[in-house]
Structure 1
């Protein structure tokens, strides 16, 4: 004779229940770097794990420790180096091209200066006193570096800055003067600036 047992529903087996304990997150430890020796934790420079709350309320405010910033993902040093080398090579090639372009431009200017005929400026001369000794005739005004640069640009199409031109700051008498153009990567060349009395004669 078989016996049938009736089990009350309250006593039936139940699936296990996952119980979440509060405070586990608060007890989690984080890596920190000790800035000073801390008793029972470690010496300065050591990387240790402590509770977040202890770090936040005690160690960090007192500058006893600092947070460790964890890098996400593997550090591929070889890849970083490989990416840096092409960038450096590209920058170097670009710089070399700029130097080459500037050298060609400046050499062209120097070649044109070498072939320049003397640049002539007409100026009114100051009448000399009868008893004055003979010498260079003084002119009204002067011939300046700006005048020479303007003549080079407008008449000969040669564009240079004032630092590249060497001459007397102000030419104040009739005569012949040497002007020198000096450019980086191309050397230097000279030409003549001549000041003559204007056709109107002395004033």
Structure 2
């Protein structure tokens, strides 16, 4: 008997997989627990169509992430901060500050948790701030910290 798994079943397959199982296993274990449903030709076609749509959406998301990485790699941010005569800041520049600057400069929301400013920037100068955009996709944003002149 053919079954479509609704969730992962150890030793059988992942959600969305079409598997062959014994009728008793289907009737007594998979159906009552909501782990699978009977596979009809129409349901199999629908599952395959959904899988193809999911694959296309993943490819589109990866392409958008690559474009964003390229855009951020070409971005130069200028942050103004109060600083003393020795070039040390009164406070620090954090990942939230960099995320806000990216939003203002490029109009793109980047979650501050994906930006690594470790340790926080505490002096004037030029820094390369790493931004993680997903699995295997990272870039650096050039950040210039200059004094705020009152």
- What band does the TM-score fall into relative to the shorter chain? 0.5 to 0.7
Distance (Å, rounded) in 1 between the aligned partners of 2:115 and 2:141: 11
Distance (Å, rounded) in 2 between the aligned partners of 1:191 and 1:175: 14
Structure 1 residue 148: Cα displacement: 0.8
Distance (Å, rounded) in 1 between the aligned partners of 2:49 and 2:113: 32
- Where does residue 73 of structure 2 map in the other structure? 114
Q: What RMSD in Å do the two structures reach over aligned CA positions? A: 2.3
Which structure has the larger Rg over C-alpha atoms? 1
Structure of higher RCO (CA pairs closer than 8 Å, 6+ residues apart): 2
* SS in structure 2 of the partner of residue 126 of structure 1: coil
Runs of 4+ in 1 over 6 A off after TM superposition: none
Distance (Å, rounded) in 2 between the aligned partners of 1:116 and 1:99: 26
Unaligned residue ranges in structure 2 (runs of 5+): 1-37
Q: Name the TM-score, length of structure 1 as normaliser.
A: 0.49
> Does the 8 Å CA contact 2:78/2:146 hold for their aligned counterparts?
yes
Q: Name the TM-score, length of structure 2 as normaliser.
A: 0.64
The aligned length equals 113
Distance (Å, rounded) in 1 between the aligned partners of 2:125 and 2:52: 49
Q: Deviations over 1:91-141 (max 9, x none)?
A: 211211220221122111111112213x1222222345xxxxxxxx32112
* SS in structure 2 of the partner of residue 166 of structure 1: coil
- Where does residue 7 of structure 2 map in the other structure? none
Structure 1 residue 185: Cα displacement: 6.0
> Does the 8 Å CA contact 2:95/2:113 hold for their aligned counterparts?
no
Change (3 A) 1:84 1:173: same
* SS in structure 1 of the partner of residue 54 of structure 2: helix
- Where does residue 172 of structure 1 map in the other structure? 122
